[in-house]
Structure 1
């Protein structure tokens, strides 16, 4: 007599059972009168939360390493998903104004000074408004640079800024007007801030740790351009110069826009003369006055370095905004 052919049972369904499992229902009230209160106390305690849902736990000092890792990883995955392999990183003052805005602020400061000629606060506000109007053409330089990069036609190359107003807004706005994606790396600060409205949605990343933000500024950087700026701009500029000086990072072109401004802020000749840096360290950056000069210099540097940014012959001009 032949053996009965085995019957293959159908696959079990992931979330369906014909018979409930014992733990799917709480202990009955007949067995434990205080079951509701006891379970509530157990399940409402933070220890019952899964680790990745326990916000208080995630913000403890012991979990700082995991938070740093996540701060790095989210940005890494987002940028990779968008196919961004190289970036033109641009820094500059958050206080840089559009020319029209700077003109209006100067007019307002003059009116206030005329109404209160002895007021020292008005006098200072007038001086600052005059300086900001003088610097406002650099907003347009940033805008033009964003357009040049955006019009370059390399989908793997994007402008990247700190995501804020002023100079950073100008660059993101230039790429926006060119119809190209651009990146903003914001940082969580004690006082609320907003990203500028020209960053590509999905490419505005907010960091908790300055260190992880700095890492992503540098990691894909094909060039660093510094418009006139203050502490934040100097921080990023000197960080990049130090990395390249020490050969911790591969060299990239560093361009300072506005020689007259930067020579007052950063006296490299003094550092060379006093032996604080070497003569060759002077060659880690150069000056430019216009967006076109900066961009063409960056392209020429990469052609000479064998790391051309664009798929074009060396003598073919890039599209202008």
Structure 2
């Protein structure tokens, strides 16, 4: 009821963006000051707006997970360099490759249990990258379930792995907010071998 009242009381932001983009071109309408604040990327990226960006980064995944019906998660932490057996880039990493299959099997078992209980709880969550993270997301997909990927923008990081459920694949700028999202819904955390970045 309250949402319906709000929709009637406040103007639609998308409609205002569309309306503002259709105004005549003049020096005034082309000036950065004229842009709607919430549609102005340069403004939103200013240092003074960091608190707003932190809040947005906290809120966007929270709303997305709520809307997707994710009530609780099981988080998998582990190394990005651990590959499937036969795909490792060094003998030392090949020795670690058994952990890939262990993480995949664990995530598959957790997801089967989740689906048996309605699919809202114990949703596998990883950092969305390669290695153990990929194994976790793959295990969930192998079981026919969903999984969450909490990626972060890094200079040399690849795109999220292809096993993350697309509508549950979130991208972060702030490490701290990402870590909060790992823990906010976690019922359990499974930690596999990895490097310093794992934790």
Q: Aligned partners of 1:192, 1:201: CA distance in 2, in Å?
A: 18
Q: Which residue of 2 is the match for residue 75 of structure 1?
A: 61
Shift of 1:185: 0.2
Q: Which residue of 2 is the match for residue 209 of structure 1?
A: 174
For residues 165-184 of structure 1, the aligned pairs below 5 Å read 165-184=130-149
For residues 107-118 of structure 1, the aligned pairs below 5 Å read none
Q: What TM-score, normalized by structure 1, do the two folds share?
A: 0.52
User: Structure 1's 210 and 148: CA in aligned 2 closer, same or farther, altered over 3 A?
Assistant: same
Q: Aligned partners of 1:210, 1:78: CA distance in 2, in Å?
A: 19
For residues 212-231 of structure 1, the aligned pairs below 5 Å read 212-231=177-196
CA offsets per residue over residues 41-89 of structure 1, 9 Å max, x none? Answer: 1111100000011111000011111110000000000001111111110
Q: Which residue of 1 is the match for residue 29 of structure 2?
A: 43
1:149 counterpart SS class:
helix
2:47 to 30, 49, 61: 61
Q: Which residue of 2 is the match for residue 156 of structure 1?
A: 120
The structure with more radius of gyration: 1
Q: Aligned partners of 2:102, 2:168: CA distance in 1, in Å?
A: 23
Shift of 1:191: 3.1
For residues 211-290 of structure 1, the aligned pairs below 5 Å read 211-233=176-198, 236=199
1:151 counterpart SS class:
helix
2:26 counterpart SS class:
helix
Q: Which residue of 1 is the match for residue 10 of structure 2?
A: none
Q: Aligned partners of 1:169, 1:87: CA distance in 2, in Å?
A: 16
For residues 111-150 of structure 1, the aligned pairs below 5 Å read 129-150=90-111
Shift of 1:192: 4.9
Runs (4+) off by over 2 Å:
190-193
**2:155 maps to 1:190:** yes
Q: Aligned partners of 1:43, 1:69: CA distance in 2, in Å?
A: 29
CA offsets per residue over residues 73-123 of structure 1, 9 Å max, x none? Answer: 000000011111111100111000100213xx5xxxxxxxxxxxxxxxxxx
2:128 counterpart SS class:
coil
CA offsets per residue over residues 228-253 of structure 1, 9 Å max, x none? Answer: 100111xx3xxxxxxxxxxxxxxxxx
2:161 counterpart SS class:
coil
Q: Aligned partners of 2:104, 2:148: CA distance in 1, in Å?
A: 14
**2:60 maps to 1:95:** no
Q: Aligned partners of 1:170, 1:194: CA distance in 2, in Å?
A: 15
Q: Which structure has more RCO (C-alpha within 8 Å, separation ≥ 6)? A: 2
Aligned-pair Cα RMSD in Å:
1.5
